[in-house]
Amino acid sequence: MEATAIMMNSNIQLTSRDKAVLMKAPFLNSLGGSSLVNMLATMGVQTLAARATVFREGENAEAFYCVLSGYVRLYRLSRDGREADIRICAPGDTFAECLLYTDQKYPFHAQATETCTIAHFDLEAVKSLAEHDPEVARAIMASLSRHLLSTMECVANDRLFTAPQRVANYILSRCPVDGGPASIRLPFQKSLLAGMLGLAPEALSRAFSSLRKTGVTVRGRMIQVVDVQALRQI
């Protein structure tokens, strides 16, 4: 496919796994033909070491991003140096595309939580693409809608549920089955999950132990659930 050719030319470092993630990303997989080719033409790829900064709050926004491998953490700092995570971006997720039509400064920090490969798209270039290509505009609207919905869900979860309930929700959201026993593996460190749920690491740890009586066993990154239905009652 033409798109693949362009992509490989300008970005030798893309592994085949990264390419697969990129093409399956919700933001791109609805695009085809010239829309896809044009989007990929504005794209660059970069690799980040663990804890590396993607951008800082207040910097001029020049690009939005798509995670190809690893996890990127979006967070804010308070004046006294405390951090609050806003979103954890998994492979396939885009972030900062909300700056296309608004601010010209990044409104939060973005940091690689481990070794990461991320694609960047020039904001100006995509903006003018979107003006002329309804398919691109559609993809952006879909992506923004999805993020808005999940962020509103996050507000509601923070305000309605306690720590054990939020942890249970998270486990359930990653359980492949509807009932009976299940076993999942955390894709990242527990401290990252804690931040994602708006908790201190200690609070996450205590939430896990309070879930033991509901049949949740944690060993390292493995989580075993005796009965998924029972967990839903929390």
Partner DNA sequence: CGGATCCTTGAAGATGATCAAAGTTAGTGG
Partner DNA sequence: CCACTAACTTTGATCATCTTCAAGGATCCG
Instruction: List contacts with DNA (CB under 7 A).
Output: 82, 162-164, 189-191, 198-209, 218-221
Strands (DSSP E) contained in 41-141 are: 43-48, 53-55, 63-69, 72-77, 83-89, 94-95, 109-112, 116-122
Distance CA 6, CA 29 (A): 16
Question: Which is closer to a second copy, CB of 101 or CB of 181?
Answer: 101
Give which of DNA, a second copy, none residue 191 binds (C-beta under 5 to 8 Å, depending on kind). Answer: DNA
Q: Which is nearer to DNA, 209 or 224 (CB)?
A: 209
To the nearest 10°, report the CA torsion of 144, 105, 134, 86. Answer: -10
Q: Which does 201 bind (CB under 5 to 8 A by kind): a second copy, DNA, none?
A: DNA
Single residue of 34, 47, 184, 198 touching a second copy by CB under 8 A: 198
Of 142, 136, 138, 120, the closest CA to residue 38 belongs to 136
Dihedral angle sign, alpha carbons of residues 184, 187, 193, 196: negative
Nearest-approach distance from CB 14 to a second copy, in angstroms: 28
Site for a second copy in 93-112 (CB under 8 A): 97-103, 107-108
- Residues 119, 168 contacting (CB under 8 angstroms): no
Calpha distance 106→109 (Å, rounded): 7
Within residues 119-178, the interface with a second copy by CB under 8 A covers 130-132, 134, 137-138, 140-142, 144-149, 151-156, 158-161
Q: Choose from DNA, a second copy, none: what does 203 bind? Cβ within 5-8 Å by kind.
A: DNA
Which of DNA, a second copy, none is residue 81 near (CB under 5 to 8 Å by kind)?
none
CB 170 within 8 A of CB 193: yes
**By the 8 A CB rule, do 220 and 228 touch?**
no
90: partner contacted, choices a second copy, DNA, none (Cβ within 5-8 A by kind): none
Specify whether the CB–CB gap between 42 and 7 falls below 8 A.
Answer: no
- Tell me the H-state helices in 11-47: 16-24, 33-41
Residue 35 CB, shortest distance to a second copy, in Å, is 13
Q: Specify the residue, 79 or 132, whose C-beta has the smaller distance to DNA.
A: 79
Contacted entry of a second copy, DNA, none for residue 232, CB cut-off 5 to 8 Å set by kind: none
203 binds a second copy (CB under 8 A): no
Site residues, a second copy (CB under 8 A) = 74-76, 78, 82, 84-87, 97-103, 107-108, 130-132, 134, 137-138, 140-142, 144-149, 151-156, 158-161, 198
